[in-house]
Structure 1
Amino acid sequence: MTANYLIGLREGLEATLVVVLLMAYLAKTDRRHLIPRLWTGVAAAVAVSVGFGALLTFGPKGLTFEAQEAIGGSLSILAVGLVTWMVFWMARTARTLGSDLKSRVDRSAGGAGWGLAVVAAIAVGREGLETALFLWAAAKATGETTQPLLGALLGLATAAGLGYLLHRGVLKVNLSRFFTWTGAALIVIAGGVLSYGVHDLQEARLLPGLHSLAFDISAAVPPSSWYGTLLKGTLNFSPATTWLEAAAWLVYVLPVLFLYLRTHFTSVPPGRTMAGNNHAAKAPAAA
């Protein structure tokens, strides 16, 4: 649940900040009449993301066990790739996100302003689709459905609340530090999802070594124990891990985490935020 809360919080805050920046810029440029178009795009993005999540959840049912495992493993690896791209993208574009969004608004605000709805739908929809895929993969890895969904919803609700406070100018958040360390945490979580995706492909007999264990500490860390459940829910840790799963985790997490931290600290100078404003972000109010 903790891992899914973090996923919902980070992805939700990214989408929320996009909406906050767009609303603030529309208000600043005296184009408040276009805000309903903005919310139309956001609603469309949410609907598509929910539909995508439902398709992932109910689509594979009725297939053979091997086919379900093959699909699950492939989508888990795809989810890891998308999350990896997302954290690196944020690290590289943190300085210019605000100005990029403003230029898109200026290009799309002509006529009835429906181009702005498209901008909002794309910006928010990207986060929504990534969230749906990664949450599905994480939920499949833990074998739970209710708790991951609840954790993600709590994270999204927290993100929405923080976004509202930022929009009203009530709250200051060190966005640079927040996205740095949540990005690092997501890489570790993604390593667990990747490991489980490899396990799914082994179950589907597409990869070898299903019964070749690197370690089995099930006696010390029973999967049904509270600490076994905690490790499974936060890091997707499996007490019985094959050599291929362990290798995939190490080959992914260690170099990617190193490259991510190096990219972030060389791309975002001190005192900058993703909006390009002060180190502690304070979004201007629209009203």
Structure 2
Amino acid sequence: MVANYLIGLREGLEAALVVSILVAYLVKSDRRDQLPALWTGVGVAILVALGFGALLTFGPQGLSFEAQEAIGGTLSILAVGLITWMIFWMAKTARYMKAGLHHKLDDAIGGGQKAVFVVALLAVGREGLETALFLWAGAQATSGTAPGTTGNAAPLVGAALGLATAVVLGWLVYRGALKLNLRTFFAWTGLFLIVVAAGVLAYGVHDLQEAGILPGVNNLAFDVSSTVPPSSWYGSLLKGVFNFSPATTWLQAFVWIAYLVPTLTIFIRTTWGHAPSRPAAPAPAVTASAA
């Protein structure tokens, strides 16, 4: 639940900040007549994301167990690829997000309300689809259920609470009541999400093993189920936060290490590894209400 809360918070905050920045810019530039088109684009993007999430959840129903595991494993690996790209992209461009959105919106306003609708749809829709896919993959990994089945609701509750928190934070940023250093926020949450993504990747590999696509489903690297029972509070905590599996195959362990070690190393070097030669002013806190 904790991992999914943070996923929902981070991913939802990206979308909330995009919306707040776009709305604030139209208000500050006295272009309120474009707001209906913008909100329509946001609404359509949310509906598309919800529809995509429903498709992921209920689409595989009626398929064989092997087919469900194959779909779940493939989508989990795809989600890890997307979230990894997003983590590095946001770590580099967070401080320039507002200027980039302003530039896109300026170009769109000249094309009328349809262009503003498209900008809002694409900006929010991309975040929504990424969020739906990774939340779905994270929920499947932490609940341990096959796609399309009913499992523990805690991951979904955590994700919903994270999204709700993100909406509140986005509103506070828009009102100017809260200032966020986006570079710092996305750097630290990115560090945590890389660990979560490693667990999702290992879970996806296990799904493909159970589907018979990858070998070694019974070749365990370790089995600490007697020491860390999955039903215990600490077993549930490790599963919910780090996607830890007490019974892990050799291929899962190899993939987890092969992803986590180089990805964390590159991310840390990219984000914190280049110390300035002289003291620099801290990154400006971003607020949507600024022009």
CA contact (8 A) 2:95 2:183 kept: no
1:281 maps onto 2:286 in alignment: yes
Is 223-232 or 165-174 further displaced after alignment?
165-174
Deviation at 1:268, TM superposition (A): 11
Q: 2: distance between equivalents of 1:83 and 1:76?
A: 10
Is 88-97 or 202-211 further displaced after alignment?
88-97
Q: Which amino acid aligns with 2:124?
A: V
Partner of 1:212: 219
Q: Which amino acid aligns with 1:211?
A: N
Deviation at 1:75, TM superposition (A): 0.4
**SS at structure 2 position matched to 1:283:** coil
Partner of 1:19: 19
CA contact (8 A) 2:95 2:286 kept: no
1:248 maps onto 2:255 in alignment: yes
Partner of 1:176: 183
Deviation at 1:103, TM superposition (A): 1.2
CA RMSD of aligned residues (A): 1.8
1:148-227 aligned within 5 A: 148-227=155-234
Q: 1: distance between equivalents of 2:108 and 2:35?
A: 13
Q: Which amino acid aligns with 2:201?
A: L
Is 144-153 or 227-236 further displaced after alignment?
144-153
Q: 1: distance between equivalents of 2:175 and 2:80?
A: 35
**SS at structure 1 position matched to 2:248:** strand
- Which whole-Å deviations, capped at 9, do the CAs of 1:148-197 have from their partners, x for residues lacking one? 11111111111111111111111122322111110110110000000000
Q: Which amino acid aligns with 2:236?
A: T
Q: Where does the alignment leave 5 or more consecutive residues of structure 1 unmatched?
A: none
Partner of 1:99: 99
Deviation at 1:29, TM superposition (A): 1.6
Q: Which amino acid aligns with 1:152?
A: A
Partner of 2:58: 58
Q: 1: distance between equivalents of 2:105 and 2:287?
A: 20
CA contact (8 A) 2:94 2:186 kept: no
- Which whole-Å deviations, capped at 9, do the CAs of 1:111-163 have from their partners, x for residues lacking one? 54221111111111111111111111112112245211111111111111111
Is 25-34 or 206-215 further displaced after alignment?
25-34
Partner of 1:134: 134
Partner of 1:83: 83
Partner of 1:44: 44
Q: Which amino acid aligns with 2:176?
A: G
Q: 1: distance between equivalents of 2:23 and 2:231?
A: 47
Deviation at 1:95, TM superposition (A): 3.4
CA contact (8 A) 1:92 1:268 kept: no
Partner of 1:264: 271
Q: 1: distance between equivalents of 2:288 and 2:282?
A: 14
Q: 1:95 to 1:174 in 2, by over 3 A?
A: closer
Q: 1: distance between equivalents of 2:124 and 2:281?
A: 26
Q: 2: distance between equivalents of 1:42 and 1:257?
A: 33
Q: 1: distance between equivalents of 2:79 and 2:50?
A: 16
- Which whole-Å deviations, capped at 9, do the CAs of 1:253-276 have from their partners, x for residues lacking one? 111111112222368986565xxx
- Which whole-Å deviations, capped at 9, do the CAs of 1:211-250 have from their partners, x for residues lacking one? 1111111111000001101111111100010010001000
Q: 2: distance between equivalents of 1:4 and 1:23?
A: 28
Q: 1:220 to 1:244 in 2, by over 3 A?
A: same
Partner of 1:6: 6
Deviation at 1:77, TM superposition (A): 0.2
Is 58-67 or 105-114 further displaced after alignment?
105-114
Counting aligned pairs with the same residue, the percent is 63
The TM-score normalised by the length of structure 2 is 0.92
Is 220-229 or 175-184 further displaced after alignment?
175-184
CA contact (8 A) 2:95 2:182 kept: no
Q: 2: distance between equivalents of 1:272 and 1:109?
A: 33
Q: 2: distance between equivalents of 1:266 and 1:167?
A: 32
